Amino acid sequence: MSKRIDMYKNATELYNHLLAVNNGLKHCSLPAELVELVFLRVSLINGCAYCIDKHSRDLLKSGMAIDKLVLVPVWHEAGQLFSPREQAALAWAEVVTHIGETAAPDADYQAAAAHFNEQEFSELTIAIALMNALNRMAISGRMTPQAAMA
């Protein structure tokens, strides 16, 4: 792979603003594990090795069972392993990540919004949007996953 421009080094202030949103999400009304779960699903959809590695590690550290973690890509086939609220968040993450194809239909919006209050739903959508942005930066910048550094 070719060496890429270090976006953090060359746009530190703007990058730090994105990281500030990420830090804000750590203190939002949503459970931290739900945010990390959504981060992982978005990263899986986008194929971001760096973020998949990071968020998988973070979920394992938080106590998520490996049996659940490995089924995140096929959560809709995992029965009751994911709670209805987690399923709603994962489904909305897919809709928003594929926004160019889905246009976020009313039925999908209503299905997801039924599981969250207005603040939580807004924070969830911000988390999804943020991870999509960070995935695009990590992929285009060829950020190396921790596992590949060992």
Can you tell me whether residue 47 is helix, strand or coil? coil
Contact 88, 115 (CB under 8 A): yes
pLDDT (0 to 100) of residue 90: 98
CA distance 39 to 9: 24
Q: Select from 41, 84, 81, 46 the least CA-distant residue to 64.
A: 81
Q: What is the mean pLDDT of each run of 10 residues along the chain (150 residues)?
A: 83 95 97 98 97 98 97 97 98 98 98 98 98 96 84
SS3 of residue 4 by DSSP:
coil
- Measured in degrees and rounded to the nearest 5, phi and psi for residue 2 equal -80, 155
Provide the pLDDT for residue 143: 87
Of 89, 147, 82, residue with least CA distance to 113? 89
pTM: 0.94
Residues near 146 by Cβ (< 8 Å), separated by ≥ 6?
53, 54, 57
pLDDT value at position 131? 98
Residue 105 C-alpha from the chain's centroid: 20
- Which pLDDT score, from 0 to 100, does residue 104 have? 97
What's the pLDDT score for residue 1? 59
pLDDT of residue 145: 86
